[in-house]
């Protein structure tokens, strides 16, 4: 009988302590401001760390179309279109440089092999889009200041590059 009472007391106190913790968090969640009161996308974006690895930045004017970045990519999400340059020019003219961000895992393995340093990881995370097509970014079709600068890859930019 004694052990029965001990078990009942133990069970009751354990439940009461658990409920107290739950109640504490319940009250805290009312006191805490919601995330949207601190940040309002896109006017007040979430601040990012200095070494944040975001969408790529790419300089079409220096790319030589060597394919080294595409070969280094572990998930094959870089698609390069190129044509032979008209003689007397040598090499290739890059006509398309697409990165599929539905597959990219931001590992940056494409950056190091580039012999002319024309691709690097940027600090932008803005690629809001209404469909998956918008996640395939053709950097060769973007204005240079968007493709290689820190400007947003916003839906407006998406629309202009698809058009």
Q: How far is CA 83 from CA 38, 88, 100, in A?
A: 49, 14, 21
> What is the rounded distance in angstroms from the CA atom of residue 81 to the CA atom of residue 79?
7
Q: Which is nearer to ligand SF4, 10 or 108 (CB)?
A: 108
Residue in this structure with the two tokens 């390069």, named with its chain if needed:
80
Here the tokens at position 27 are 């009250």
- Are the C-beta atoms of 111 and 99 separated by less than 8 Å? no
Here the tokens at position 148 are 């290689």
**Least CB distance to ligand SF4 at residue 45 (A):** 22
Q: Which is nearer to ligand SF4, 12 or 62 (CB)?
A: 62
**Least CB distance to ligand SF4 at residue 86 (A):** 19
Q: Which is nearer to ligand SF4, 12 or 102 (CB)?
A: 102
Q: Which is nearer to ligand SF4, 99 or 157 (CB)?
A: 99
> What is the rounded distance in angstroms from the CA atom of residue 149 to the CA atom of residue 143?
10
**Least CB distance to ligand SF4 at residue 32 (A):** 35
63: exposed, middle or buried (Cβ count in 10 Å: 0-12, 13-18, 19+): buried
- Are the C-beta atoms of 109 and 118 separated by less than 8 Å? no
Q: Which is nearer to ligand SF4, 69 or 146 (CB)?
A: 69
**Least CB distance to ligand SF4 at residue 25 (A):** 38
Site for ligand SF4, rule CB under 6 A = 63-69, 72-73, 75, 77-78, 80, 99, 104-110, 113-114, 116, 118-119
**Least CB distance to ligand SF4 at residue 124 (A):** 14
């Amino acid at each position: 009988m004694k052990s029965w009472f001990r078990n009942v007391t133990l069970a009751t106190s354990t439940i009461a302590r658990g409920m107290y913790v739950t109640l504490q968090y319940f009250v805290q969640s009312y006191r805490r401001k919601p995330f949207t009161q601190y940040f309002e996308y896109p006017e007040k974006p979430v601040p990012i760390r200095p070494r944040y690895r975001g969408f790529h930045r790419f300089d079409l004017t220096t790319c030589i179309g060597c394919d080294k970045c595409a070969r280094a990519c572990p998930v094959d999400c870089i698609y390069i279109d190129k044509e032979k340059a008209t003689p007397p020019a040598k090499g290739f003219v890059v006509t398309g440089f697409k990165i599929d961000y539905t597959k990219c895992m931001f590992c940056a393995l494409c950056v190091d092999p580039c012999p002319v340093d024309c691709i690097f990881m940027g600090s932008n995370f803005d690629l809001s889009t209404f469909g998956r097509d918008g996640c395939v970014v053709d950097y060769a079709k973007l204005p240079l200041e968007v493709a290689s600068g820190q400007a947003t890859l916003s839906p407006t930019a998406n629309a202009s590059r698809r058009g």
